[in-house]
Structure 1
Amino acid sequence: MRAVEEAAYAEGDLRRARTLARGGHVGGISVTGGRMVAAVADGLGGGGRDHGLFTVDCRLPVLDDQGRAALVEVVAAEAGRIGSLLAGDLPHSLVEHADEAGVELLPYGTELEATCTCVGWLDPCPHALALLSQVAWLVDADPLVLLHLRGLPRDDLLARLHARTVSIAEPDDDLEAAALDTAADAAARAARLLEVIDADDVAPIDHLL
């Protein structure tokens, strides 16, 4: 909502946008990486040139590969974070730590771009602000929508977290080789110990232990 307010040219545009959004004038919203698209019905102009059904296309920069990888690491840094996200909560510490890692998760007004089929010359126009307001409410209910907009959809996030967990769980090749050598040495000592015990002449075996 802060970004929406920063992007607006006038308070009147914001009020009109909120009226449209709260009045159910924003249709189904299509959310993809970096884009929000919806139809907005505007009958508030009293039948003027701004009256009708308009298509709004809003855009937000997505994270690059390095940014997405850093965000996954931030989410994985604390065990409860992914659970909070899935439950509809965006931990403040996650946003702070992401920012420290060079990942600006929350958008700024200057990042938001929009086009609309209305005749208005403002960017964003009230119709675009209505769509952005509606998306802000969606993000408030489900922060994974914000990650999706930033280029990290839910399934991709979960897959990356799973791959990271599997990678950490797999033993290092050198450590695995060392463990095998230790096991082989222990097996050889055990076999030699059994040979000594089974022999007729039982010699002291302290040196084998």
Structure 2
Amino acid sequence: MLESIGVGTRLQRGRTYARKGQVISLAVEPGAVSAQVQGSRKKPYRVRIGLQTYGKAQWAELERELAANAWYLAKLLAGEMPEDVEEVFTAAGLSLFPADAQDLSLDCTCPDWEVPCKHLAAVFYLLAESFDEDPFAILAWRGREREDLLINLRAARDSGTPAADIAEHSGPPLEQSLESFYSLQAELPQRTGYSSAPDALLDQLPEPGVVVRGRSLTELLRAHYQELESRS
């Protein structure tokens, strides 16, 4: 994206600064990325990269589209960013990333007249890496923090629950039903007894292969089981 708007070729200037740890702070906020970069002077330079945020109506439309797509919704609620999420912005006539260099407001307190200077380039370099680590930061830059987005998506998902499903689970709140929660709600069906042969268990066991006085152990036990039944 940066290469397409003419900034990418200057990123190498800031790479050395970034790799040396010259960027001592970096924060992504709605509409602005702010950073401090240690240059040749004692006092760090202040860097700011501004980007227009989207309004409530625009984000409401985006969130409705995201919530309406089960795949997008599942990925986002699981803390993952769908790879083609930019298509949702495009369909709404918006752009997730800056489409032109004019979309960005670049500022650095250094005396270098060239824009972007190496301090801005260093921040751009680390910013791209931070988006790889946390893609939700891109949305935060456009005006929607991660937690706010997920809360709104859950609300949109819940409001779309079919009425039949809601009615099926409707009832008084639990705190109003504590006294009767464990009480018998209906008569239990009467259990009917059942009978079986006293030696039926032996028919379910494998043959042990043991012979006692010329008779198998199973047959000897069968006689005792039948005798116990006759005495009960």
Query: Which TM-score band (shorter chain)?
Result: 0.5 to 0.7
Alignment of 1:1-209 (within 5 A): 2-3=1-2, 6-8=5-7, 11=9, 13-43=10-40, 53-85=44-76, 89-108=80-99, 109-169=101-161, 171=163
Moved over 3 A (4+): 82-90
Structure 2 counterpart of 1:155, one-letter code: E
Decide which moves more: 142-151 or 22-31: 22-31
Going from structure 1 to structure 2, the CA distance change for 1:146 and 1:128 (only over 3 Å counts) comes to same
Unaligned runs of 5+ in 1: 44-49, 177-209
For normalisation by structure 1, the TM-score amounts to: 0.67
Query: How far did 1:156 drift?
Result: 1.0
Going from structure 1 to structure 2, the CA distance change for 1:105 and 1:60 (only over 3 Å counts) comes to same
Decide which moves more: 95-104 or 50-59: 50-59
- Spell out, residue by residue over 1:130-183, the C-alpha distance to the aligned partner (whole angstroms, 9 max, x if none): 1122111111121100000000101110111122123223749xxx8xxxxxxx
- Spell out, residue by residue over 1:81-115, the C-alpha distance to the aligned partner (whole angstroms, 9 max, x if none): 24544667543332113201212112233311111
Q: Are the aligned partners of 1:63 and 1:151 in contact in 2 as well (CA < 8 Å)? A: yes
Separation in 1 of the partners of 2:46 and 2:152? 34
Larger helix proportion, structure 1 or 2? Answer: 1
Going from structure 1 to structure 2, the CA distance change for 1:90 and 1:110 (only over 3 Å counts) comes to farther
Unaligned runs of 5+ in 2: 168-232
Q: Are the aligned partners of 2:22 and 2:39 in contact in 1 as well (CA < 8 Å)? A: yes
Separation in 1 of the partners of 2:56 and 2:104? 21
RMSD of equivalent CA atoms? 2.7
Structure 1 counterpart of 2:70, one-letter code: A
Matched residues, percent identical?
A: 32
Structure 2 counterpart of 1:124, one-letter code: P
Separation in 2 of the partners of 1:87 and 1:27? 31
Separation in 2 of the partners of 1:111 and 1:53? 26
Residue correspondences, number: 164
Query: How far did 1:122 drift?
Result: 2.6
Query: How far did 1:117 drift?
Result: 1.0
Instruction: Report the 3-state secondary structure (helix = DSSP H, G, I; strand = E; otherwise coil) of the residue aligned with 1:70.
Output: helix
Going from structure 1 to structure 2, the CA distance change for 1:22 and 1:84 (only over 3 Å counts) comes to farther
Q: Are the aligned partners of 1:67 and 1:102 in contact in 2 as well (CA < 8 Å)? A: no
The answer to which structure, 1 or 2, has the higher relative contact order (CA under 8 A, 6+ apart) is 1
Structure 2 counterpart of 1:115, one-letter code: D
Decide which moves more: 77-86 or 93-102: 77-86
Going from structure 1 to structure 2, the CA distance change for 1:7 and 1:42 (only over 3 Å counts) comes to farther
